Amino acid sequence: MDRWFLIAATVLAAIGGGWGMLSVHRGARSHWTVIWMIAVLLCQFGFLSQRGQVRGSCPLHDPGEIMAYLAWSVTLFYLLVGPAYRLSLLGVFSAPLVVVLQLGALGFVMMEAPPHRIPETSAYHALHSSAAVLAYGALGLAAISGVMFLVLNHQLKEQVLRSALFRNMPPVKLLLVSLERLLWCGTGLLTVGVVAGFLMEPGKDTRPHFIAAMAVWVAYLALLAFKTVRGMTGRKLALAAVGVFLLSLLVFLSV
C-alpha cells in the first residue's frame, strides 16, 4: 500500500512539472504548480508515515527510503521557499528531480519489500539521519536555484532571452536571496545532524556516513564563511552552491 502513495506522488510530480514547463513555453506561468506539489507532498507524507509505522522508526533504512525522504525534503522546501519569493519556476525545475528520486526509490532492489521492523534505536541516531537528509533537500534546492541563476545571468549578458522559459524567470535578486537562505538553512540542519552524530553511540556501520556528513558540513561552513567575510559575486556563489552539492553527492556515494 505504501508504494501506491509513492507512485501517485511520482505521477503528480511528473504532471505538475510537465504542465508547468508547457505553460511557460507558451509564455505564461502556471499557478497550478504549487497545487500539484502540495498534492505530491501529501502523497509523500502518506508513504513515509505508513513506512515509518511498519519500521517502527524513521524510514531511512534502505536506499529507496532515503531517496523518497530526500524527494519529500525537496518538495517541502520548494513549498516553503517558492511561493514566499514568488519563484513559481522553482517548482518546474524541482519537479523533475523529485520524479527521478522517486523513480529511483521505486527501482529494482532499492526498497526492501516488505520492510522488517527495526529494533529500538537511539533517538540521536534517528535525529542524525533525518536532519542530514532533510538538509540535503534544502541544499539540493539551493543548487537548483544556482542553476536557474546561472542560466538567467548568461541570457541577460547576451542581452537576449531566447525562449519564454527565460523571459518568465524571476528576478536574479530574488534567486540569490533564496539561494543564500537555503544554504544557511541546509547548513543549519547539517549542524544539527553532526551534533546528534557526536552524541550517538559509534558503530562500524554509521562511522563512514558520519565522517562524510562532517566533510560536507565543513565544506558548506567554509563556503558561507567566505561569503560572509570576503563577499562573493552572484555567479561565484551560484557556481559554488552547485559545485559543492555535486561533490557532496560523490562523497556520500563513495561510502
Identify the residue with better confidence: 85 or 134: 134
Per DSSP, helices labelled H in 56-87 are 63-81
The string of pLDDT tens digits covering residues 29-49 is 666 777 888 899 999 999 988
* Predicted pLDDT of residue 252: 67
> Which residue is it, cell 516553503?
80
Identify the residue with better confidence: 15 or 108: 15
* Predicted pLDDT of residue 94: 84
Give first-to-last CA distance, the chain, whole Å: 31
* Predicted pLDDT of residue 241: 94
Alpha carbons 198 and 33: distance in angstroms, whole number:
40
Alpha carbons 218 and 198: distance in angstroms, whole number:
15
The string of pLDDT tens digits covering residues 182-230 is 999 999 999 998 898 888 766 555 677 777 788 889 999 999 999 999 8
Q: Is the pLDDT of residue 134 over 80?
A: yes
Closest by CA position to 75, among listed 51, 103, 43: 43
* Predicted pLDDT of residue 225: 94
Q: Is the dihedral of CA 176, 152, 241, 255 positive or negative?
A: positive
* Predicted pLDDT of residue 191: 93
Weakest-pLDDT range from 74-78, 126-130, 236-240, 251-255: 251-255
Q: Is the pLDDT of residue 165 over 60?
A: no
